[in-house]
Amino acid sequence: MLRFVFSLGLLFACMAPAQAQNASAEELVRHMAADVTAQVRKNPELVNSQTQLAALVEQRLMPRFDFNRITQVAMGRNWPRASGGEQQQVVTEFSKLLVRTYSNALASLKDLDVQVRDTRANGGSDVTVRTQMIGRAKPVEIDYSLSSATGGWRVYDVTVEGVSLVTAYRDEFNGVVSSSGVAGLISVLKQKNAK
């Protein structure tokens, strides 16, 4: 359930058009939430095609997320243990997994909205945009951690109800690397993507 809610939150963070690239982080999250909700509501046929959903998410997701940073933090202490080639393979496979996961969650967005609550500076060029996903009995708290980079703001973590996406994957990744090495992690990610 937690991964499903993460998926919904991340979908709102991944689908802004190009003109929003230079917007403030808060404006960007607000615009992305409105954009993705509108797309799902006006194109109900999207939810019936896994291929179309994956293509839509992949097209909009890649520029909005810093997959290198997400993967590096998710691997934690294991990142420097991986060769350059292994690091790239983990980033590639993890990105595919996240795209597929988010695609599967799209159908649930038609009845949900996001309210932006506030933005907090985290130091340097990092901010956290705090939101609530509403449309269910109890609002779900979702915080987006973004960093300002060339080309605009990019998401590097999502925290749902106090649980960080990166931290959740770090625990899983550490377990796999401890038992099977970095090659084992790549294999596990490939197996998940093949399903």
pLDDT of the residue at 91: 97
Q: Name the pTM for this structure.
A: 0.78
Q: Which CATH superfamily is domain 2-194 in?
A: Tgt2/MlaC (3.10.450.710)
Tens-digit pLDDT string for the chain (195 aa)? 555 555 555 555 544 433 344 458 998 888 777 777 777 777 877 777 777 777 777 776 677 789 999 999 999 999 999 999 999 999 999 998 887 777 776 666 667 788 899 999 888 889 999 999 888 778 888 898 999 877 789 889 888 889 988 888 999 999 999 999 999 999 999 999 998
pLDDT of the residue at 180: 96
pLDDT of the residue at 158: 86
User: Where do the domains of the chain lie?
Assistant: 2-194
As to burial, measured by CB atoms within 10 angstroms (0-12 exposed, 13-18 middle, 19+ buried), residue 110 is middle
pLDDT of the residue at 3: 55
